[in-house]
Structure 1
Amino acid sequence: MKHIHQPQRHSLLSAEPNIHESSHILNSSAGQWVSIGPHNKIVEAKIDNYTYTMDDVTINYSDIGKYTSIASHVCINPTDHPMDRVTQHHMTYRRKDYHLAETDDETIFAWRRSHRVTIGHDVWIGHGAIVMKGVTIGAGAVIGAGAIVTKDVEPYSVVVGVPARPIKKRFAQEVIDTLLDIAWWDWPRHILEERFYELNDLDTFIAKYK
């Protein structure tokens, strides 16, 4: 994993993270072959190998696995406001910005950090979906466009709606268990290259590598 602060841009993808120049990255890390699209805002996140984001994506306090596909206008772990105070306005904890105190209220930020989102490998998150605080999404899952995910999602489940609910599994449970055991996303690059075209044929893949 490579620590990233400033945006980078390459004409083609490479082992180096490809970060669009318009995106804002703060205290985050990205693995090899990661691509971050335009106008993203990413705060204190870990993004593993081959994962990519499209435009206008927000990611806060999250751990994201390998080969995950994040569509446009997705928001992962939106930040909450303190509803138990007289005012919900962020001046009560971003006090320095408003010249109301010499320090910010770090308890709010510590609380946000303690409710990270965890997204597994090979997950597809559809356009405009929102993944709420503290949620875990299993490998191979699909999050439908516009869904609001408030609960954990099992591996290879398809969830849709507001709030998101499971509508089916992508495969039979035996196939899911086998894919999780194979864990192809952990293959090193040279093995991926050797077996690349086999990823297109589920039955052959399962028979060969289970």
Structure 2
Amino acid sequence: MTDNDDPRFQNDQPRIHPSAQLKGVRLGKYAEVGERVILRDVTAGDFTYFERHSEGIYADIGRFCSIAANVRINALEHPMERLTTHKISYRPNEFFRYQGIDNAFRARRQAKRVSIGHDVWIGHGAVIMPAIKVGHGAVIGANAVVTKDVAPYMIVAGNPARLIRPRFPEEIVIRLLRLAWWDWPTTTIFEVIPDIQSLCIEDFLAKWER
């Protein structure tokens, strides 16, 4: 039985707002893409959603990620070592005939993919810089500018983003990473929702660790 055959579940196809712009994008089941979101060469896992006006390029995003409005994932870098940082140096075709796009610069950008784990919450207006890795369960505060990798289950905020605190004690984080609940079948996710809502994290782990 597939998810779509189970009467308990909504249709598992991604939901994409008509105003969104997607190119080279792969979305998982139940993924959502909001109003005027722009994604280029992005993968996003099951249940991950993008709120309005967010943008992402060259990024791999896990399951169950919550991406707020006006987020920028893999913000464009400019070639500061050149005479000019202006796009005329890497996209001259927008201004002149017989001048092609700078494929070497594009390849440089493509090589700096952003990696975002599962169950990550990225707050309103946050910016994730190129080549950043964000671990499972992390939280990025509103308007943060993330210039360094973020470890699993850490909360960061500010410009540049700095560690605020862990979401849980280290021993709980280790158990959560071992649990890897985001890999469970949809039927199990359905079953555990009442416990997610009612149990403290220690009791939840005690009940569902295997």
Shift of 1:104: 1.5
Cα deviation, 1:70-96, whole Å, max 9, x if unaligned, reads 011111101111112222221222232
Aligned to 2:182: 185
- How many angstroms does 1:31 deviate by? 0.4
2:19 equivalent in structure 1: 22
Aligned match for 1:90, one of 82, 87, 90: 87
Match in the other structure for 1:110:
107
Matching residue of 2:41: 44
Asked whether 1:205 is paired with 2:204, we answer yes
Q: Tell me the secondary structure at the aligned position of residue 59 of structure 1.
A: strand
Aligned-residue identity in percent: 40
Which structure 2 residues correspond to residues 82-161 of structure 1 after superposition, within 5 A? 82-161=79-158
Runs of at least 4 residues of structure 1 off by over 4 A? none
Question: How far off its partner does 1:102 sit?
Answer: 4.9
Secondary structure of residue in 2 paired with 1:44:
strand
Counterparts of 1:142 and 1:130, CA distance in 2: 13
Moved more, 152-161 or 101-110: 101-110
Moved more, 117-126 or 90-99: 90-99
- In structure 2, how many angstroms separate the alpha carbons of the residues matched to 1:173 and 1:85? 45
User: Following the alignment from structure 1 to structure 2, what is the Cα–Cα distance between the partners of residues 95 and 114?
Assistant: 21
| Corresponding residue number in structure 2 for 1:56 | 53
Partner Cα separation in structure 2 for residue 58 and residue 119 of structure 1? 14
SS at match of 1:33: coil
- Greater Cα offset, 97-106 or 159-168: 97-106
- Structure 2's unaligned 5+ residue stretches are 1-9
TM-score, structure 1 length as denominator?
0.90
Listed as ranges, the gaps of 5+ residues in structure 1 are 1-12
Q: Secondary structure at the match of 1:205?
A: helix
**How far apart are 1:99 and its partner, in Å?**
2.7
Q: For the structure 1 residues 81 and 100, does the alpha-carbon distance in structure 2 shift closer, same or farther, using more than 3 Å as the test? A: farther
1:53-84 deviation line (CA, Å, top 9, x unaligned): 11110101000000000011111101111112
TM-score, normalised relative to structure 2: 0.90
- In angstroms, what is the RMSD of aligned CA positions? 1.2
